[in-house]
């Protein structure tokens, strides 16, 4: 059972198991699947990245997902306080508060560029709706995207709209709105991904796409690619930030968390692979560059929509659904800090506004990195790449490592076999969070350093 969390944390539970799974899937499925996965696979050489990422999801992602959800169930939604409380008396003690602050700040960094990219999707939904994406050649499509990147005012406007929507949703309470949005719109998004993958397979080069995505090329597995795959496994499952911990705090006691975690990870993985199968046949079929970077889906998909009967409607709907998926993820990015700083009620609303304003301002750096500051390099990377890399590839795996160690070694007493239904599942999970996940992550970090 949930331990005492104080009146400020008192939060109603998700209305059902299905509602919780829907919300967790809503947090997981987002830009990570449809935008980041194809672009990372593209710049990282395909198969080596994809298969490593899948390995991380199974061996590290699912166990850490279970860990975060259980920590939330037993500690409550105020992650900083919860970690400190569960660590009380243990080795390290209050130091674990630091993990809470670290992951919550990472979440803000992620939100800053997440909102900018969601803004691109919103811009594209609008363009598609007014027919601005029809009759596009691959070259014209590249020019359209470059024009958006070159226009800071326009990007700021979309970024602001997205952040405003996030604040509005969080202010109304995460549960009601998200439950409803996710239950209807996520299946629709998945169905559209299937349609797109089938269509792309027909007009593009399906065989080459499959080979690119799934043929392991061992020589491409550099330490950087391994790190990126680990980071992406955490990013896509919403791990290492405390987001799932907050959501876990609202799970009804009757729900089996390990089983739910497997469903969430499976749904998230299916969406990512579908997105890959929708994008890469087009990339190869139309002679586009798989390593184009963050613009990959925005350059590739419009080419398909332009050639497709009814493409304007399908395109507008698809980009709009991406925005919805991004919003249900973005609210999860603000929850951990809002809960930690504001508790519940009026103060939480004030903090939500302040945090969103902070993430919005940091997002401007990402906006400018594509135009005004396009020559600026931080450690050889654009500002956008730098923020995405430091948060996504480094801070997330570090936070995830922290959660694994904390759940396996520190909070072990409060997470019991009862949470797992069977002692064998409990033992397997303990083995994974205590030894396997920390070892694998430590190896990846060391590999990067030497
Ligand atoms: N999992 C989300 C995605 O793939 C991103 C996210 C990360 C959301 C962490 C919340 C917390 O788009
Ligand atoms: Na995801």
Please state the ipTM of this predicted complex.
Answer: 0.98
| pLDDT of the residue at 176 | 62
| Conformational region of residue 4, where left means phi above 0, alpha means psi within -120 to 50, and beta covers everything else | beta
Using alpha carbons, select from 124, 111, 109 the residue that is nearest to residue 155: 124
Burial of 439 (0-12, 13-18, 19+ CB in 10 A): exposed
| pLDDT of the residue at 230 | 93
Domain residue ranges of the chain, discontinuous segments joined by +: 7-449
- 7-449 sits in which CATH class? mainly alpha
Q: How far is the CA of 343 from the centre of ligand 2 (A)?
A: 27
Coarse DSSP helix, strand, coil percentages of the chain, rounded to the nearest 5 percent: 80, 0, 20
CA distances to 72, 178, 390, 399 from 100, rounded to whole Å, are 12, 24, 18, 9
H-state helical runs in 4-61: 17-28, 31, 37-43, 47-56
Q: How far is the CA of 265 from the centre of ligand 2 (A)?
A: 9
Protein residue whose Cα sits closest to atom 7 of ligand 1 = 238
Using alpha carbons, select from 442, 449, 440 the residue that is nearest to residue 55: 440
**Closest approach atom of ligand 1 to CA 329:** 8
Q: Which one of 182, 231, 329 would you pick to mutate in the ligand 1 pocket, going by the greatest count of ligand atoms within 8 A of its CB?
A: 329
Protein residue whose Cα sits closest to atom 9 of ligand 1 = 238
pTM of the model: 0.93
- Torsion sign (Cα): 103, 109, 110, 112: positive
Q: Which one of 34, 235, 397 would you pick to mutate in the ligand 1 pocket, going by the greatest count of ligand atoms within 8 A of its CB?
A: 235
Give Cβ neighbours of residue 118 (< 8 Å, ≥ 6 apart): 31, 162, 322, 323, 326, 327, 330
Determine how many CB atoms are found less than 10 A away from the CB of residue 136: 20
Mean pLDDT by 10 residues, the chain (450 residues): 37 74 90 97 95 96 96 86 80 78 91 98 95 88 96 98 92 67 82 93 95 92 92 95 89 90 96 96 93 94 88 91 93 84 79 94 97 95 93 91 92 78 91 95 86
- Protein residues with CB under 6 Å of any ligand 1 atom: 27-28, 30-33, 110, 235-236, 238, 241, 243, 329, 332-333
Q: Which one of 24, 26, 27 would you pick to mutate in the ligand 1 pocket, going by the greatest count of ligand atoms within 8 A of its CB?
A: 27
Are the C-beta atoms of residues 120 and 158 closer than 8 Å to each other? yes
The residues that bridge with 378 in the sheet, in sequence order, are 381
Q: How far is the CA of 68 from the centre of ligand 1 (A)?
A: 14
CA 191 to chain centroid, in Å, comes to: 20
């Amino acid at each position: 059972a949930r331990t005492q969390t104080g009146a400020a944390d008192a939060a109603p539970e998700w209305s059902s198991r299905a509602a919780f799974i829907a919300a967790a899937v809503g947090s997981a499925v987002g830009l990570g699947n449809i935008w980041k996965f194809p672009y990372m696979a593209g710049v990282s050489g395909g198969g080596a990245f994809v298969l490593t990422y899948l390995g991380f999801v199974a061996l590290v992602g699912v166990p850490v997902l279970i860990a975060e959800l259980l920590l939330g169930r037993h500690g409550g939604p105020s992650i900083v306080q919860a970690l400190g409380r569960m660590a009380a008396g243990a080795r390290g003690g209050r130091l674990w508060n630091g993990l809470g602050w670290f992951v919550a700040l990472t979440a803000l960094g992620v939100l800053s560029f997440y909102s900018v990219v969601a803004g691109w999707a919103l811009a594209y939904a609008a363009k598609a709706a007014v027919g601005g994406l029809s009759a596009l050649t691959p070259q014209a499509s590249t020019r359209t995207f470059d024009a958006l990147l070159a226009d800071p005012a326009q990007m700021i406007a979309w970024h602001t709209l997205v952040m405003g929507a996030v604040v509005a949703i969080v202010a109304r309470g995460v549960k009601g709105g998200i439950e409803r949005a996710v239950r209807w719109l996520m299946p629709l998004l998945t169905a559209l991904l299937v349609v797109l993958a089938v269509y792309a397979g027909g007009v593009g080069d399906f065989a080459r796409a499959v080979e690119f995505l799934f043929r392991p090329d061992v020589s491409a597995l550099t330490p950087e690619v391994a790190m990126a795959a680990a980071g992406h496994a955490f990013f896509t499952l919403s791990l290492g930030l405390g987001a799932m911990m907050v959501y876990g705090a609202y799970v009804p006691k009757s729900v089996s968390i390990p089983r739910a975690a497997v469903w969430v990870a499976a749904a998230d993985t299916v969406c990512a692979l579908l997105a890959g199968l929708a994008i890469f046949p087009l990339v190869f079929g139309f002679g586009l560059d798989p390593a184009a970077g963050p613009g990959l889906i925005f350059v590739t998909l419009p080419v398909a929509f332009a050639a497709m009967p009814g493409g304007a409607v399908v395109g507008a709907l698809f980009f709009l659904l991406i925005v919805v998926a991004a919003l249900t993820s973005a609210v999860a990015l603000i929850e951990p800090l809002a809960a930690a700083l504001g508790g519940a009620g009026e103060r939480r609303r004030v903090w939500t506004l302040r945090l969103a304003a902070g993430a919005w301002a940091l997002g401007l750096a990402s906006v400018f990195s594509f135009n005004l500051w396009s020559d600026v390099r931080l450690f050889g990377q654009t500002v956008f790449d730098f923020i995405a890399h430091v948060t996504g590839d480094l801070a997330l795996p570090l936070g995830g490592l922290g959660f694994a160690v904390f759940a396996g070694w520190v909070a072990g007493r409060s997470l019991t076999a009862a949470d797992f239904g069977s002692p064998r599942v409990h033992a397997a999970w303990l083995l994974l969070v205590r030894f396997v996940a920390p070892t694998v992550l430590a190896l990846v970090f060391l590999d990067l350093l030497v």
